[in-house]
Structure 1
């Protein structure tokens, strides 16, 4: 259980750092001024809260389903995290939105990799499907 909680926290923190960095770059590429420290802190707290909630709900479901079915691997986890991105990807109609979706795919792979790395010791034992 300790590894699962650590995976939840670390993957949420990794997403937050990557997301905030990307948003600062995205805004500055449009000519926006460098955000203040307070604005970066607020964005970081909001992103961290959202990441913790999503990881608790969606990440928990992914963990439960994949471990119970015996499919816990980096490939199935990456697929599970990329699946929502592909559904959203359907509505892209500009090159700028496509670049944004590439970032979301990177975020999904980052979260999947961190989750797999920290939670993998939890699932080394045999699970009973019944």
Structure 2
């Protein structure tokens, strides 16, 4: 259980850092003043809270479904995180700027899948010993 909690916290923190590092420069218009450190901290805490809530539900479902079915591998976890990005890309994108932003979302999905798989992988391993 400790590995699952560590995966939940690490993947949420990784998403918050990556999202903040990408979103602030991408969304800040030209000529706008640079944010203060307190603004970055506030944005980080908001992103961390949202990531923790999302990861608790989605990562928990991915972990339970793939772990119980014996399909826990880096490829299936990556597919589980990339599938919503492809669905949104197919049915929810209507402007070229949003389509270019999907490249970052693909990177975020791969980052979160890799972190989740790395930290939670030991907990779902089963031995192949026959009793």
What TM-score, normalized to structure 2? Answer: 0.90
Q: Which runs of 5+ in 1 are unaligned?
A: none
Report deviation, 1:7.
0.5
Partner of 2:23: 23
Listed as ranges, the matches of 1:24-103 within 5 Å are 24-28=24-28, 30-31=29-30, 32-90=32-90, 91-103=92-104
Equivalent-residue separation in structure 1 for 2:119 and 2:89 (angstroms): 28
Aligned equivalent of 1:106: 107
Deviation at 1:33, TM superposition (A): 2.8
Deviation at 1:83, TM superposition (A): 1.1
Distance 2:33 2:46 in 1: 20
Unaligned runs of 5+ in 2: none
The structure with the larger Rg is 2
Show CA shifts across 1:42-93 (max 9, x none). Answer: 1100100010011100000000000011000001001111111111112323
Alignment of 1:119 with 2:120, yes or no, is: yes
**Aligned residue pair count:** 125
Q: Aligned partners of 2:85 and 2:73: how far apart in 1? A: 19
3-state SS, counterpart of residue 72 of structure 1: coil
Aligned residue for 1:43, secondary structure, equals helix
**Root-mean-square deviation (CA), in Å?**
1.2
Larger deviation: 80-89 or 53-62? 80-89
Deviation at 1:94, TM superposition (A): 2.7
